[in-house]
Structure formats: structure tokens, C-alpha cells
């Protein structure tokens, strides 16, 4: 038996947009395409324009975050960012590269993050209307999805497998790993716990779903599903 856990982490939804935004045929991001961190850089948009992938300038500072955000609301709420939340300076670049996948590098060339996807030059990236940025290879197989590497947010249709986790950020503008963690343990229990930020040590489990079943392990929690079903297998 598959025990499904439902959790509503986002309580506010986007206002329904009546007029579909005209897509300009640039929905598919080809290998070789790149984005640069500037004030007026155009992100890669989903077909409806609801979600954007690119660099978001954090407050008025000279630091940018590679992220996915709701593009149609004034606050441009970030729903995903590159692991650890590293800020990069103006002029940094993210490129979809042959053999590498997404590669984030600073202006002097220092690599900060990569999706580590060994793609061919016929692969492409796609910002889906669900908020999932996917890399699809030449045989139409998904080789990387932002949904499989959640940071602090789970979106509708997103699934977390056992050992998956999301972590709060330090503050509204500091995206380094913060104080709270939600994780689905390998034994099927969903827990919330606190972290000591300086040391990174996790302690104080203050919520436990009690969905671990030692009598019959197949009755233990398997996935955390927000809204609809899906599966990440690599």
C-alpha cells in the first residue's frame, strides 16, 4: 500500500490569468543559450509567463541569485534557487552546456554551481508552467528537473521522495540554509526539525507524522505529494 502524505505549504495561489501571454517561440532553451546577471536581463519564461528562470537581484545590492520565481506578482516570490543559495556578482552567467547541463559561473570564470547533467548538443531546457525547470535530452527523456532538487518550497504537483528535504532560508534576503528542515526519512516518517545555523547540526524534532510502520513496512510513508502525482527517477 502506498501511503500518500498531503501537505499544503503554499496557501496562496496566483490569481488566474485570463489572457494567455503570447509566446514568442523562445520557450525551448537550446544548448549554448545563456543568461547574464544584469538589471534588465530577460529571464527564461514559462509559456504562460507565470514562472521565470534566471537571475534575481536581491534587494538593492549588487548580488544576484540564480532562481525560479513567480513572475506575475509584484514580489516575484522565489520558489527555487541553486543549492546552498550562493549570491553571485553582476556579470555572472548561467549557460546550458553540452556535456555539463546548467553551469553557473562568476565573471572571472569561477564555477559556482552546476546541474551536472551530461547532455548532448540536441538537448534543451524548458521552464514549465508548473514551476519546474527541466532539461530534456535528444530522446525526450528528462535528465534534470528543479522539482527533484527543492530548496525551501514545494509547489503543486511537486513530489518529495524518501530522504528528500527542504530547508528554510536564513531570512527574506539571505538564501543560505536556515533554521528549519522538513524531511521525509527513509523509514517513512515526515519530520520537522531545527538546526543550529553556525554548526549545521540538526536537532529538536518538533513534528513527526508517525507514518512509519515497523509491523508492515509497506504501510510506511513513501512520498510527500503536493496536489498531484509525479515521480523523480534518475
Please report, as ranges, the residues that interact with ligand NAG according to CB under 6 A: 1, 75, 99, 118, 126, 128, 130, 134, 136, 157, 213, 215-216, 218-219
Q: In angstroms, what is the minimal distance from the CB of 75 to ligand NAG?
A: 4
Quote the least distance from Cβ 198 to ligand NAG, whole Å: 26
Annotate 10-55 with DSSP letters as a single string: ----PPPPSSPPPP-S--EEETT-EEE--TT---EEPTTSSEEEEE
Which three cell numbers, joined as nine digits, stand for 91?
A: 556579470
State the Cα–Cα distance between residues 94 and 131, nearest whole angstrom.
18
Nearer CB in complex with ligand NAG: 36/219: 219
What does the alpha-carbon distance between residue 15 and residue 126 come to, in Å, rounded to a whole number? 23
Beta carbon nearer to ligand NAG, 108 or 215: 215
Q: How far apart are CB 146 and ligand NAG at their closest, in Å?
A: 11
**Shortest Cβ 230–ligand NAG spacing (Å):** 7
CB-nearer residue toward ligand NAG: 41 or 230: 230
CA distances from 102 to 95, 139, 146 (A): 6, 19, 11
User: 136 or 224, CB closer to ligand NAG?
Assistant: 136
Rg, Å, the chain Cα set: 18
Amino acid at each position: 500500500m502506498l501511503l500518500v502524505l498531503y501537505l499544503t505549504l503554499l496557501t496562496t495561489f496566483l490569481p488566474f490569468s485570463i489572457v494567455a501571454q503570447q509566446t514568442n517561440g523562445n520557450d525551448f532553451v537550446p544548448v549554448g543559450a545563456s543568461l547574464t546577471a544584469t538589471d534588465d536581463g530577460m529571464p527564461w519564461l514559462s509559456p504562460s509567463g507565470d514562472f521565470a528562470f534566471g537571475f534575481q537581484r536581491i534587494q538593492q545590492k549588487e548580488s544576484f541569485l540564480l532562481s525560479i520565481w513567480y513572475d506575475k506578482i509584484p514580489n516575484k516570490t522565489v520558489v527555487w534557487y541553486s543549492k546552498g543559495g550562493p549570491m553571485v556578482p553582476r556579470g555572472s552567467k548561467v549557460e546550458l552546456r553540452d556535456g555539463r547541463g546548467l553551469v553557473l559561473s562568476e565573471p572571472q570564470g569561477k564555477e559556482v554551481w552546476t546541474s551536472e547533467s551530461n547532455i548532448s548538443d540536441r538537448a534543451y531546457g524548458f521552464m514549465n508552467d508548473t514551476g519546474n525547470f527541466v532539461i530534456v535530452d535528444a530522446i525526450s527523456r528528462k535528465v534534470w528537473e528543479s522539482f527533484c532538487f527543492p530548496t525551501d518550497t514545494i509547489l503543486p504537483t511537486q513530489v518529495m521522495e524518501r530522504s528528500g528535504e527542504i530547508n528554510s532560508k536564513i531570512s527574506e534576503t539571505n538564501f543560505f540554509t536556515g533554521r528549519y528542515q522538513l524531511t521525509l526519512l527513509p523509514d517513512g516518517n515526515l519530520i520537522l526539525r531545527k538546526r543550529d545555523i553556525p554548526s549545521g547540526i540538526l536537532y529538536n524534532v518538533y513534528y513527526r507524522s508517525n507514518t512509519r510502520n515497523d509491523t508492515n513496512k509497506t504501510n510506511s510513508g513513501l512520498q510527500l505529494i503536493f496536489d498531484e502525482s509525479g515521480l523523480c527517477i534518475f
